[in-house]
């Protein structure tokens, strides 16, 4: 098996586990709570513990690396997207834009321009984003993109989300609007039906959904905080115990992934070992401390020129399609 080959059997096992945890959340727990005892609501902790797994499997599907068959990879991605409340086609297009514009002026979460924005404004936004706002924005953006295309004319939206027009054009050009809309409806309808089963204990599912938003929002930015500007490939490789890194599908090796996005999650440690890269810090310390600090653009290094053979572009040379 080559270093970039898809670990089919293992991915199928993990996909089955992820979807079963989703069914536990929506079906098994509310039925057990309603018919047996409210203490069965504690099983939601297992579903919550599996949230990073579901998120990283969705990431693999977005890169076409979850299953070898393009058709089944897409079906698996759609199921995972529905389970997370995010239509797969919207998230995939947004993620591809992220790979192109990350750490540029169009896509840098914790960075502010002195003189143009006050530090406290960026700090407040960053804290809210890490506490769940990132996931909430993704939910709302999906609905606007799919059901309210006129939102592209909102000046304040274009100012705060400069990649919005590019994302909307890519989504419309993909020819997948109908399945994406169907996925969005299911992503909201299924939890709504589950809340009816929970009955008076519906607060349990609400807490689980809040936990989902918090975990996704916390992990979304951790490997990009404080990285050089102007380079879409700038990301950190953060140290974790090997067993924990495997539980997170090696998502702590974002520095490797940004440079070689065609590699499956199983191939990342090997490429890290042979590429001569070093650890950029501790994952836990960055998660709990470093990524919470807003930083002026003047405090970070900038990659100003294209480097031969690397595809790194200066921020000012990148414009959305």
Domain ranges of the chain: 8-317
**Lowest mean pLDDT across 17-21, 51-55, 169-173, 253-257:** 169-173
Higher-pLDDT residue of 316 and 28 is 28
Binned at pLDDT 50, 70 and 90, residue 283 comes out as very high
List the beta bridge partners of residue 119: none
- Round to whole Å and give the CA distance between 74 and 77: 5
Longest dimension (CA), the chain: 65
Supply the pTM of this predicted model: 0.90
DSSP class per residue in 129-186: IIIIIHHHHHHHHHHHHHH-GGGGG-HHHHHH-TTHHHHHHHHHHTT-HHHHHHHHHH
With tokens 């086609």, the residue in question is 89
Model pLDDT, residue 4: 58
* 79 φ/ψ angles, rounded to the nearest 5 degrees: -65, -45
Mean pLDDT of the region 274-301 = 94
Give the pLDDT of residue 174: 87
Query: Percent of the chain scored above 70 by pLDDT?
Result: 93
Instruction: Count the Cβ atoms, other than its own, within 10 Å of residue 306.
Output: 13
Question: What is the structure's pLDDT at 59?
Answer: 97
Nearest alpha-carbon partner for 215 in 128, 109, 131, 125: 131
Percent of the chain with pLDDT over 90: 79
pLDDT per residue over 192-249, tens digit each? Answer: 999 999 999 999 999 999 999 999 999 999 999 999 998 888 999 999 999 999 999 9
pLDDT value at residue 64: 95
Alpha-carbon span 150 to 28, nearest angstrom: 40
β partners of residue 282: 239
Q: E strands, 11-110, where? A: none
Per-residue pLDDT reduced to its tens digit, 87-128: 999 999 999 999 999 998 888 899 999 999 999 999 999 999
């Amino acid at each position: 098996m080559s270093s970039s080959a898809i670990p089919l059997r293992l991915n199928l096992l993990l996909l089955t586990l992820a979807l079963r945890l989703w069914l536990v959340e929506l079906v098994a727990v509310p039925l057990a709570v309603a018919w047996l005892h409210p203490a069965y609501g504690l099983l939601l902790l297992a579903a919550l513990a599996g949230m990073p797994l579901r998120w990283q499997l969705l990431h693999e599907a977005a890169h076409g690396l979850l299953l070898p068959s393009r058709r089944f990879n897409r079906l698996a991605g759609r199921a995972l997207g529905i389970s997370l409340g995010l239509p797969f086609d919207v998230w995939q297009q947004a993620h591809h834009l992220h790979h192109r514009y990350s750490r540029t002026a169009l896509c840098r979460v914790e960075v502010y321009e002195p003189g143009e924005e006050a530090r406290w404004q960026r700090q407040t936004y960053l804290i809210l984003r890490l506490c769940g706002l990132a996931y909430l924005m993704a939910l709302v953006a999906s609905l606007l993109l799919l059901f309210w295309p006129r939102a592209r004319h909102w000046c304040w939206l274009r100012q705060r989300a400069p990649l919005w027009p590019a994302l909307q054009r890519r989504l419309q050009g993909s020819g997948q609007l109908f399945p994406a809309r169907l996925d969005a409806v299911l992503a909201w309808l299924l939890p709504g039906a589950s809340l009816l089963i929970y009955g008076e204990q519906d607060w349990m599912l609400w807490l689980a959904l809040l936990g989902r938003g918090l975990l996704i929002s916390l992990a979304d930015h951790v490997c990009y905080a404080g990285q050089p500007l102007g380079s879409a490939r700038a990301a950190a490789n953060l140290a974790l115990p090997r067993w924990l890194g495997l539980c997170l599908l090696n998502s702590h090796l974002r520095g490797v992934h940004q440079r070689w996005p065609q590699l499956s999650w199983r191939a990342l440690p090997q490429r890290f070992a042979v590429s001569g890269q070093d650890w950029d810090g501790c994952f836990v310390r960055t998660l709990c401390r470093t990524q919470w600090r807003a930083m002026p653009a003047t405090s970070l290094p900038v990659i100003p020129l294209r480097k031969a053979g690397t595809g790194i572009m200066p921020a000012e040379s990148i414009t959305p399609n």
